[in-house]
Structure 1
Amino acid sequence: MCRTYFFTNWNMKRKILAVFLPLLMLSTLLILVSSISLIIRNGKAEALNNAKDKLSLVTGQTDQILSNITYNIKAFSTSSALQDAIRAEYPDNNYGNYMFSSTMHNAVHNIMEIQSLISSGYIHTRDGRIFDIKTDEIRAPDAEMDARYREIAAEKGRILLEYPADKSGAAALTVSKSLIDIRSGSCLGILTFDIKESLFYDSYHSVSDEENECFLLIDSAGTIISSENRDELQTTASPEILGLLEGMGKPEQKTQYKSGGKIPQETTAEHMLLLSSETENGDYLVVYMMRYYRIYKEALNLALFLLIIGILVLAAGGLLSSRLAQSIVGPVIRLADYADEAGKGNFDLPVPVHSGDEIGFLAERFGVMNHNIKELTTRIYNEQTQKKEYELKMLQAQINPHFLYNCLDNISSLITDQKNETATAMVSHLGRYYRAILSKGRNIITIREELELIRAYLEIQLIRIPDLFTYEITVDEDILDFKILKMILQPIVENSVIHGFAGFKNSGRIKIEGTLENQTVCILISDNGKGIPEGSRSSIFAPAPTAIPKHFGLKNIQERIRLKHGEKYGISIKSEQGQGTQIEVRFPKTL
């Protein structure tokens, strides 16, 4: 019920899109998922075949390297030049050592192929000399070397592949063999060479993707003797890889496959594909590792391509659906926007729909209604403006006669008391006061004229009640000729005299200041009178049921200024009971 309610309250365009877009998205999604599933399945099989081909290639190259090492070691050990150098008799002195070193150097370095295979090594002769292959140094063997000599000599010429003594990773393995005299069959000594790890590294580095693939060469004990991750050299392989070693030596398990492992050099549990293949001699295992991402890489690229196509199809479908919806509901939407603008008070916009159908007729009638509303609003505004002017005149009609009668009574009393000069001054001020009020029927006068009106009023009040107050007017000369609505400031001053100083006998102060701030005229009128009670302050601008409320003048001033200049202008009141009142009048600069 709730869903039906929401759907019913949707606009027409949303309803059309809500029907067409889900259908389009569902069909596109089904096609996309089916295509991706097929591509991934085929891509996985292809990637696996490629991985097996690479593993087979690297295994073959590893076998070739091991065979080459075996061949060269055999050739080196049977070299006649080498055996002659060892058989020769040398004096047991420095010269003899020099002759031995020179002869061995020539014999070793004439066999160039062996130099490209080894990183270090030595020859231990039967007479107890150690000759370093790389440095040509001669030294005496230690106890460990003697034990090693006896162990290798006991193998009677068999090639031994062992762990390298150097654990830095420069050597992959150590090759040892006894030197059998080709003439007599006796043992002339032994050779021990460290085979370069780079031989194996170079064989697979060029065919692997460093980012997603990794090759390892592992011996039967699980030690990594070559790896693209240099930190793994001469370390023990991970448990997943060690599991592959269980089948080494079994012909039916020559190549194994295992998934779900983790690449050793990664710290995250990212699933891997593991493939392994033994070397021909069965002593080493070549391991290929690849992230599953690598298997899916091509499939993901194709899937991304299909996804882009799907998005484009959805976008095109959405655009077409939107165009269809727009062509149907566009006029209605424009008419709704037109109605919204009219609701905001903008009645000057042209009717947005011009067609001969029902919507066009509705738009035309709506335009006529807007025109009528605009005329009615203008008429009401003018009537309100006139009403305020009538209220002002009514206020003046009710207040001014009373003020005039009081002044005439005061003048009469002054004449009776023989105070003719004071009476004359009062008549003069009264005349200036009423001339300013009448001002030839103008409703807008200058600030200078409004201040003259205030001065005349204050002087009259001071004649009537001497010493009641003092006043000060400090208005910038630059603003005196700016225009102001008549009787805007005088009622405020009158409130200060009548209400602010009620009960006062003297010491009253009135100050009028005027400045220009950012093209806005600011007139500040302050007194030290009784102040306005808090309850009265909050009701000054509230609608009043009576014809002339106590603070009608202030409310009237506020409304006259805002009707003339806008809501941002008007008066603000600050008053504390017993401390006085401060009223600021703000209106725009007008010449």
Structure 2
Amino acid sequence: MKIKQRTIQQQIQIAIISISIFSMLVLGIGTFMLTTNKIVENYQQDFYYSLQTSDNIVELQLNSIIEGMRNLLLKEAYMKALSEAGEEEGSYFSSKETRILEKSVNELTLQQASVQEVLSVSLNGKLHIHSKKSDLSQYTSFYRNGEILKQDWIKEAQDADGKELILGSNALTGKEDTLSIVKYLRGYKEDSGVGYLVVNVSKNIFKKAFENRGNYKTNCFMVVDENKENQLIYFQGDENYKEGIYKAYIEDSVQSGKTSYIFSTRGSFVNGWKLISGIQSSELNAQKISIGTLISIMILILFGVGMFVSHTIARRIYMPLKKLERTMQSVEEGTRNITEEFDDSEVGLLGQKFKEMVNNNLVLRERLLYAKIKQREQELHLLQEQINPHFLYNALDALYCMAIVHEEDEIATMVAALSDNFKLSLNKGSNLIQVRDELDHIRAYITIQNMRYKDKFHVQIQVDSSLMDKKILKLLLIPFVENAVYHGLETKIGEGNIWITGHEEEERIVFTVIDDGVGIDDMSKLNKGYGINNVKERIELYYGENSEVVITSEPGKGTRVKIVLMENEMRI
């Protein structure tokens, strides 16, 4: 079903209303986005400073524990017991060494409420654990055969060369409820190692640091170790959001701003750690509801005003256009002399110009048609006169060679064929030629070429008898035969064949020229040749744009040319 075309008045109204709505939407959306961005910026700025405070709190607590660990280096009895145990055989510390280790590390656990366990490890893998917990079964496997020395953190502690390393989980068991501070203990008398110290600290030290969540429901805090493939060290907030917000942070790290969460991040004093505050975007956007409502109401009011104004303006513009429309309608119905008067407005001036154009149109049209016909005739004659004469030169060259070499009657035959060829080419100055004469032209051409190439070429012609008396453009088929000889069959080893067919299909005449030559490996080369392009242009000029020349080729097998002539569009 056709959609009814809108009137000019309707189009003007729609245009004005559309521009108004677009402007209002741009203004509204711009204000909305600006408000949204400001809310996000405020959240990220506020919580950035909050994370800074949290990091300072955590740093103070961990530095206090690290200071206690360093104090153990000053306890000669502790260092000596650990050193001697590393030189003795066996899997366990002696009773005396155990008492010394217990006494030395007890002060650290008493002073630091967050310290859960202190593990002392000798160089040969002996393990002593001082713990606030009663169940130490998780460490049983580490007492035997120096098993503890096989862990990765041992090598990391040695590489740190006495500097404390903070690990995001339990160094021995990998459990996530504690973090471990490990240290390689240098000798108390000489520059050599005496063992390792591991302090397991409860992650509750983060709890107090991240107390300020604001009045947000989905706001969460995380501590992430960037050096451990974004390992989540600590999470504080609603556990229902834990998995989603952590996954969103990983995606946000890869594609910034592509998640439904908003993050504020800050690097921690611990190398590779990051403190993160995250919140769902929808919660921050809650403040935008009132602004969005206000903007919507303003848009509705402005829409009503715009409707009234657009109707008034459109009507004032439409009335002169309606007058012009009626005038154009009368011209469409056959009026050639316009008497309608127009005012001095822009539309009136347009009507006046239209009036002058219509009144002068008939003369102008006749002049244009005459000029176009003359131009077409000139183009046709020019194209006809530009046909490449290289065949004449080749034929004369062959005639000369045969006259020198053979001195026989074949020269007469060749001259007769050449004479026929020229006669058919000139065709008494006419652009049209009967199909039978065009075919005779081809036979004469092949006769001459066979005398040059010792009967190398064979032509088979199958054209319907009904076409023989029809007239076509002269030199329509011969350029394609010539092309088949020179580019398809001449370079072929042995004899070659050309098949020419012709028949009628309704109001079309279809010719085909097929050869079994070497084919064309690059079809773009055809566009560089003058002869083929000349024929294509002549066919388009005489038989219209719906006529066509289609060339297909397969290297090594031959080339096929299909020529379609539209009889009903012939312009002769």
* TM class, shorter-length: 0.3 to 0.5
- Normalised to the residue count of structure 2, the TM-score between the two structures is 0.40
